[in-house]
A and B are shown apart, each in its own frame.
Chain A
């Protein structure tokens, strides 16, 4: 049987599950929660099955990207648009991350969300269905559709279930800012996609939005550069890279816990994925030309995010700024363009997704108990809630890049790889890790130690949360101690990427 048929199923399970969640709310609040958890569980099983079947040592790609399975059906033949999905090793890993964090998001909102539970889970499932679709899409039109599709549920998640920050500008403001940033940049990408398709049409006479066809498009150097920038802007906003980051702290701090987990863990990764799948692969020469600028932006993001994190008094904004810093590493590694850095990028994406997701779950648990996110009102939590403190400690250390955890592998590989290309920038980036250590320790010190704040009698983690934390810790440790299976899985994709970056074998 052709396993490619399972690819649309990966997207359809959460889609259908979302509709069911909404509908079954009338029977009781437990229904949507269990259905959502069940859908992600099912997706996870399907994914593990596919992983087991995957022939990861398939042919090494020479310019032509290699996919494990593909699924293609005509959709809008008028413009050569098809429902074209394809799974490669990188996509497999990222979808795995999506599903795991989806499960975490459902579990962490078990108690937090009490209003409109069915509608909440529908938005959550539809959002992640869009994300899974983005990781699979091989038709640029379909990709764009899903890219924008995942925003609408996210908008609702933030705007309806978000936190109202006293004195702040509110959740609707944050949600709208997030939406306008990403949608406007998305429209720029749409223009770039259209221009690419038209240029391809002019040279070949064929209408096609197919990724594989468009790889062959003949473009002038100037056109390539402009188109690459069009894609880059959209992905850089999502990542977020430095000048386009301002939506992120607002969105993160106002979003409900599940929304933050989703945003930080998965949505940011779609930006990095987009750069790898589209921006770099479609326009390799222009990307190589742009690489030093992109690396500079990445390093600026590392330092900027780290420094701003130091100044935060709100724990969620703090984690949000550290995300900007970590995403800077990804940009740096991607444009370093060698295999080692790319491998680092993949590990960093996965590890950051898990560690930041876990940190946001902990922030959410904290907020649920003491109803504040201000550091000034915490302190001494280690005594009141030792399990909570252990988890927070673990993931903070992970986020500073302690050896033994996935984040360390990611950052060190990126730095090793980038050093070969740009030693000075890499040195600067490495100094960002020092600031990273300072902020992680500051987080621990401010919240867990010191004189107990006025809210120090806190309930410790309940078994549901403990289980979640233990599972994430195990994943992160596994990634840090034995990353080889992950690297093997993504190897073919990364090799193709490096190949196209180096100018097609030159």
Chain B
């Protein structure tokens, strides 16, 4: 490897070095506020590095830093920064300061960034495991909460099983093609005998099953609602954005290089349609907002599968825009969730907690409402342009089944988000009115994140050209 190529690794290097330094810092002085500050600094530096690092199609056998990777890594690091700010405020309010959370967060971002630049199956595994193992620690915080521990147990067991499936799939692909780099797999598979092709097909299917678990595609979604509702709100935000986004991005890169067989595409289409419909339908009857957002994320990943499995010129662009919009929206929504006072439990998650919210906390509701409308894909919000992109890819491939699924899912989803939205505008019940507490003012970190989400959701919804111009050149 040429030393010049190290510059292209700069974001990853900063994140890795930052993690080590942060660990040393915590060992020396266990101070949550200080750790939050230095981890934010590390993330900011890494974000800046994403901007200046030179592009490279191949840094090592494992990693690359092309335009796609650059945008993904910037996105992941920015999301990590937002969660970091939310996390600090969250812990501060609940008086459960835990400095290690910031360290784990940095590691999770590192894992996601590795996934963003992965061009080799080993890099996928590395990135995935760094990220997931860091998430284990974050989900189970605070350790005294039985719900968090239950969520951890579910996530840990199923995630380990998924990783094993993924590994097995990789092994089969290796057996069939003799390589683990995506490009070589593709080249080798083009000229293998039929028996090996079948082996490769099974391998790819297992690989997709493993990734499908992380993406919580139906039928691998069963863990999602439990883990979402058990974990603290900022960690749930991280799960919903970072871990899903990174895996989806890897899947697109893999599929764009390794030409999937028709049967595999059919399988993926079935997963996508099932996720869209099941996610929205399950959310219909859900009385818990965190679980509702979990189902919503299942549906949204289903929408996102449309460009991933169809591919083509617009796919990378569509995926990146979708992720940016979805990240801004989800971070805003979970940010508000983390700030609300709860009747019982650590987070406000019962749908009744939201009744009349607008008349009690107009500021927070004014942020939450556009987030929900954006999740529903209402025009003038980022979510609409994202859905527009998905439909555009679907229509350009004339994949009518998928298009119809997206439309039907959106129609059902509308009801889901409207139910919650209108709940916030209803008149508060008598007990709520008497018990209306004054909220402690949100910390500057939360405030900044919510403001950024709010602005981005409208900016991307009304004036998306700047981002589109940036993304439009990106091909895989």
Contacts and interface: CB of A to CB of B under 8 A. Distances in A.
Query: Do these two chains interact?
Result: yes
A26 to B, nearest CB: 11
A67 interface: no
A305 B35 CA distance: 69
Interface string B402-435: 0100011011001100110010011000000000
- The 4 A-B pairs at the shortest CB distance, nearest first, are namely A184-B411, A78-B468, A145-B379, A194-B395
A44 B465 CA distance: 34
Nearest to A160: B425
Nearest to B471: A78
B422 A175 contact: yes
Name the residue among B373, B396, B422, B465 with the largest chain A CB count within 10 angstroms. Answer: B422
A412 interface: no
B465 A148 contact: no
Interface of A: 75-79, 144-146, 148-149, 152, 155-156, 159-160, 172, 175-176, 179-180, 183-184, 187-188, 190-191, 194-195, 198
Contacts of A191: 391, 395, 403, 407
Interface in B447-476: 463-465, 468-469, 472
Main secondary structure of the interface of A (DSSP, over half): helix
Contacts of B373: 152
21 contacts: A75-B463, A76-B468, A78-B472, A79-B468, A145-B379, A146-B379, A148-B384, A149-B380, A155-B418, A155-B422, A156-B425, A175-B422, A176-B418, A176-B422, A180-B411, A184-B407, A187-B410, A188-B407, A190-B388, A194-B392, A198-B395
A176 B463 CA distance: 29
Given A148-B384, A156-B425, A180-B411, 11 more contacts: A145-B379, A148-B378, A152-B373, A155-B422, A156-B422, A184-B408, A184-B414, A187-B411, A188-B407, A190-B391, A194-B395
A185 to B, nearest CB: 9
B419 A76 contact: no
B472 A187 contact: no
A63 to B, nearest CB: 27
A191 B393 CA distance: 11
B407 A76 contact: no
Contacts of A190: 388, 391
Contacts of B419: 176
B425 A187 contact: no
A76 B408 CA distance: 27
Contacts of B388: 190, 194
B468 to A, nearest CB: 4
A152 B395 contact: no
B465 A75 contact: yes
B425 to A, nearest CB: 6
Name the residue among A76, A159, A180, A188 with the largest chain B CB count within 10 angstroms. Answer: A76
A412 B465 CA distance: 50
Contacts of B395: 191, 194-195, 198
A361 B407 CA distance: 37
B382 to A, nearest CB: 13
A76 B378 contact: no
A144 B418 contact: no
A188 B419 CA distance: 22
Contacts of A79: 468
Name the residue among A75, A176, A183 with the largest chain B CB count within 10 angstroms. Answer: A183
A77 B465 contact: yes
A453 to B, nearest CB: 32
A75 B380 CA distance: 13
Given A160-B425, A194-B391, A148 B418 contact: no
Contacts of A77: 465, 469
Name the residue among B395, B396, B419, B472 with the largest chain A CB count within 10 angstroms. Answer: B395
Contact of A179 (B408, B418, B426, B472): B418
A184 B425 CA distance: 23
Nearest to B397: A198
A176 B465 contact: no
B379 A180 contact: no
Contact of B464 (A76, A152, A159): A76
A365 B403 CA distance: 46
A198 B463 CA distance: 22
B415 A180 contact: yes
A184 B464 CA distance: 24
Nearest to A78: B468
A175 B426 CA distance: 13
B433 to A, nearest CB: 14
B124 to A, nearest CB: 31
Contacts of A187: 391, 407, 410-411
Contacts of B468: 76, 78-79
Contacts of B379: 144-146, 148-149
Contacts of B378: 148-149, 152
Nearest to A147: B379
Interface in B93-116: none
A145 B378 CA distance: 9
Nearest to B359: A116
A6 B469 CA distance: 30
A79 B392 CA distance: 11
A152 B376 CA distance: 12
A123 to B, nearest CB: 10
Contacts of B403: 191
B416 to A, nearest CB: 10
Contacts of A195: 395
A184 B396 CA distance: 20
Interface string B370-383: 00010000111000
A156 to B, nearest CB: 7
B415 A176 contact: yes
A104 to B, nearest CB: 25
A54 to B, nearest CB: 30
Contacts of B380: 145, 149
A37 B327 CA distance: 40
A172 B418 CA distance: 10
Contacts of A159: 422, 425
A155 B415 CA distance: 12
A145 B388 CA distance: 11
Contacts of B418: 155, 176, 179
Contacts of A183: 410-411, 414
A277 to B, nearest CB: 18
